[in-house]
A and B are shown apart, each in its own frame.
Chain A
Amino acid sequence: MKKMYFREWAIESPKYWGILAFLGLFIGAAALSVLYMEHEGHYVTGMNNQVVWGTPHVFAVFLIVAASGALNVASIGSVFGVKLYKPLAPLSGLLAIMLLVGGLLVLVLDLGRPDRLLVAMTTYNFKSIFAWNIYLYTGFMVIVAAYLFTMMERKANQYTQQMGLLAFVWRLALTTGTGSIFGFLVARQAYDAAIMAPMFIIMSFSYGLAFFLLMLIYTFKAEGRPLGDMILHRLKNLLGVFIAAVLFFTIVYHLTNLYVTENHALESFILVSGGGYTLAFWVFEVFLGGLLPLAILFHPALGINRNWIVGAALLVLLGGLAKIFVIIIGGQAFPMALFPGQTVIESSFGDGINGQAAQYMASLPEVLLGFGGVALAIAGTLVAVRLLKFLPRALDDESLDTQVAKH
C-alpha cells in the first residue's frame, strides 16, 4: 500500500456552514424541547407510569449501540490487521465518540433530574448495571480518544495495536452492558432474556457500520475525494453479513420465547396483535430494515450501485430504530404478569385491563430530542474532520494496494 496521507475536510465554507446551520436547527429544536419537558414535567410527553422509557430512550440506546459499532472498522484494521481498513480507522474512532456523545446527551436530558448529573457521577450502587454503564461509557470515550491519538501522532503509532485491542474489548463490554440493562429485568416479560447482550452486540455491528458507510460516502462525495469501489464493496458486504446476523438473533429471540408457554401472549402481541408494534416489527424491523437492504446489498446490479448502497444503509438505520422501538416501548406496553392465571378487570393504574396494552404515543418534543442527538453526533463529526486530519486524501482503488486488498 502506498503511503497514506490524511487531510482536513475542505469543502467550501458556505456549504460547510450551511450544513452546520441545518444540523443546528435540529440541535436547537432539541434544546427547546428539553427546556419544555423539564419545565412542564414529563406529563407533556407520551411517557407515563407504565411506559416509563419513551422515544428519547429509543434514540439514546440506538446511538449508544451504533457508537460501539462504528468502531468496528478501526478494530478490523488494528486488531485483526487488515491493512486495507487502516486508513478508515481515524474516522471510525471519531464517529464512535460522537455517536456516544449524542446518545448520552439524549439519555441524560431525559432524566427527571438532569441537574443531578453530578450525583450520578459521584454516587454509585455497583450492583446496578446502569452504574457500570456510566464507567463503560466514559471509559469508552477516554480509551477511543487515546486510540485516536496513537493513530494520529506519529510518535505514538507503536501503541496503536494495543490501544485498538483495548478499545475493541471495551466496546464489547459496553454493548454487553447496554443489552444487559434489559437482559436482567425479571419484571417484564419482553426482557429478562440473556440473549439481549449478544443481540445488542450484533445490532451495534450493523447500525455502527451503516452510520460509518454513510458518513464516509457523504464526506468524500461532498468534497470530491476519490472513493474507490473496492473498499466500498468490502464494507457493504460486511454490512450485509451483519444484517443477516441481526435477523438471525431476532429469530432466535422470538423462537426461544415461543418455546416457553408463558411467553406466548407476549409473542402474539409483538408478532400478531400489537397494532403499531406488530407493524413496526414486520414492516420496519424485518422487511425494510432487514430483508430489503440484504437483498439490495447482495443484488448483482443494485449492490454495486453507490446510491443503492446508501439507500440500504439508511434502511438499516430505520430498521434499527424500529427494532429498538419494539424492544423498549413494545416491551413496556405489554401488560406485566402481575397475577398469572387471572385477568385484571378493573384498575385505576392500567395494569393491562382485559389484557390491553398500555398506551403510548410519542410526543413531538421527544422526537425532536432524539433527532437532536443524531444531529449533534453528525455535526460533531463534521466539525472534527474539518479541523483535524481524520480523512484519508484518497481511497480510490489505485491508492489502495491490490495486494493488501487480497489480504
Chain B
Amino acid sequence: MSKSEVHTSEDQVNASRRSFIGKTAALTTAAIAPGLFLHTSAGARDPSQAVTDKVRWGMLIDTNKCADGCTECVSACNKENGLPDHGRPASDPQWIRKVKLRDNLTGRETNLPMLCQHCEHPPCVDVCPTGASFKRADGIVMVDRHVCIGCRYCMMACPYKARSFIHETITEKPTHAPRGKGCVESCTLCVHRLDRGETTTACAEACPHQAILFGDLNDPNSELAQRLKSEPSRQIRADLQLNTGVRYTSI
C-alpha cells in the first residue's frame, strides 16, 4: 500500500467522522434551539424557578382589528379554563367578554374584549380581607382559591367588573384551572401556559384578526413593547392611575 493510498483512506475516515459530528451537532441544535430561543426572547422562565419581576406580562388590544360579532377570544377562554355556560349570563362566570361601544358625540362604534386589566396597583388586592387576591411578581393578578372566603369585596372594588363569583356547583374542571363554588375568580392571563414556558394566552392565540397582542411589557425588544412605544394606546379608567397591564388602541 502506497503512502498516498494510506492518506486517502485516513482522509475518508476523518471526513465521515467530521460529517457525523457535524450532523449530530446540527440535529441537537435544531432540537434544543426553539426552546432556548423562546426562553430568551420572551422572558419565559424555567418552571422550577420563582417568578420574578423581570417580566411583566401584558397585552395590547387593537380595537380597529376587533371584529363586530366575533367572539372567538371568549370561546377560547371558556374552553381553555373550563368555564361553564348555564344560560344565565348575569351569574355565569365571564373572564373575558365582548363589549360594543358608541361614542356619545361622534357615534363612532368600537368593539373590544374586556378582561382583568392586571393593574400594577389593583384595588381588588387592596380590599381583600384575607389576602386571597394577590399580584404575582410578573404582574398577573390572581385569586388564591384556598384563601378566598367569597366575600366579594374585590368585585365591589374592581373598576372593570372583571371578576366573577362562582354561583353554581362545578362538576368538571381542567386540572390546570382549579375552580370552586363560592369563590371569586378572573382572567389569569393563562398563567398555567406561562408557567409551562409557553408565551401566549388562549384568547390571543384564538383571535382570527390578530387584535390581541400578548407579551412582556418589560422587554424593550418584545413586539408588544415596540408597538406600545410606537403607537398611541390608552388604559381604561386611566384617571384611577392603576397602571394597567392591558392597553387598548383606537378607543
Residues of A contacting B: mostly: loop
A52 touches B152 (CB 8 A): yes
> What separation, in Å, do the CA atoms of A43 and B153 have in the docked complex?
18
Q: Chain B 218-237, CB within 8 Å of chain A: the 1/0 string? A: 00000000000000000011
For residue A48, which residues in chain B have a CB less than 8 angstroms away from its CB? 90-91, 167
Q: Which of A46-95 contact B (CB under 8 A)?
A: 47-50, 52-53
Considering the complex, give the chain A residue whose CB is closest to the CB of B69. A346
For residue B166, which residues in chain A have a CB less than 8 angstroms away from its CB? 41, 112
* A339 contacts partner chain B, Cβ-Cβ < 8 Å: yes
Query: In the complex where A49-B155, A342-B110, A346-B99 touch, is A113 in contact with B131 (Cβ < 8 A)?
Result: no
* A120 contacts partner chain B, Cβ-Cβ < 8 Å: yes
A120 touches B167 (CB 8 A): no
Stretch from A20-28, A140-148, A185-193, A394-402 that touches the partner: A185-193
* B65 contacts partner chain A, Cβ-Cβ < 8 Å: no
Which of A53, A124, A188 is within 8 Å of B152, CB to CB?
A: A53
For residue A359, which residues in chain B have a CB less than 8 angstroms away from its CB? 90
A186 touches B152 (CB 8 A): no
> What separation, in Å, do the CA atoms of A111 and B184 have in the docked complex?
11
A41 touches B130 (CB 8 A): no
* B25 contacts partner chain A, Cβ-Cβ < 8 Å: no
> What separation, in Å, do the CA atoms of A42 and B183 have in the docked complex?
11
For residue A49, which residues in chain B have a CB less than 8 angstroms away from its CB? 90-91, 93-94, 155, 161, 163-165, 167
A185 touches B156 (CB 8 A): yes
B130 touches A43 (CB 8 A): no
Q: Which of B208-249 contact A (CB under 8 A)?
A: 236-237, 240
* A349 contacts partner chain B, Cβ-Cβ < 8 Å: yes
> What separation, in Å, do the CA atoms of A41 and B91 have in the docked complex?
10
* A261 contacts partner chain B, Cβ-Cβ < 8 Å: no
Which of A40, A120, A332, A351 is within 8 Å of B130, CB to CB?
A: A120
Interface residues on B, range: 35 or more
Stretch from B29-37, B39-47, B142-150 that touches the partner: B142-150
* B196 contacts partner chain A, Cβ-Cβ < 8 Å: no
Which of B89, B127, B163, B182 is within 8 Å of A348, CB to CB?
A: B89
Considering the complex, give the chain B residue whose CB is closest to the CB of A337. B237
> What separation, in Å, do the CA atoms of A123 and B99 have in the docked complex?
37
Which of A128, A345, A351 is within 8 Å of B129, CB to CB?
A: A128
Considering the complex, give the chain A residue whose CB is closest to the CB of B86. A43
For residue B101, which residues in chain A have a CB less than 8 angstroms away from its CB? 339, 342-345
> What separation, in Å, do the CA atoms of A351 and B123 have in the docked complex?
19
For residue A111, which residues in chain B have a CB less than 8 angstroms away from its CB? 149-151, 182
A120 touches B110 (CB 8 A): no
* B194 contacts partner chain A, Cβ-Cβ < 8 Å: no
For residue A338, which residues in chain B have a CB less than 8 angstroms away from its CB? 99, 114, 159-161, 236-237
For residue A188, which residues in chain B have a CB less than 8 angstroms away from its CB? 156
> What separation, in Å, do the CA atoms of A111 and B153 have in the docked complex?
10
A119 touches B90 (CB 8 A): no
B182 touches A124 (CB 8 A): no
Which of B126, B147, B153, B184 is within 8 Å of A123, CB to CB?
A: B147
Q: Which of B47-101 contact A (CB under 8 A)?
A: 74, 86, 88-91, 93-94, 97-101
B165 touches A42 (CB 8 A): yes
For residue B147, which residues in chain A have a CB less than 8 angstroms away from its CB? 116, 119, 123
* A279 contacts partner chain B, Cβ-Cβ < 8 Å: no
For residue A191, which residues in chain B have a CB less than 8 angstroms away from its CB? 156
In the assembled complex, the CB of A365 is this many whole angstroms from the nearest CB of chain B, namely 14
* A130 contacts partner chain B, Cβ-Cβ < 8 Å: yes
12 A-B pairs within 8 Å (CB atoms) are namely A41-B169, A52-B165, A111-B182, A112-B150, A112-B181, A116-B149, A119-B147, A124-B130, A337-B237, A338-B160, A342-B101, A347-B97
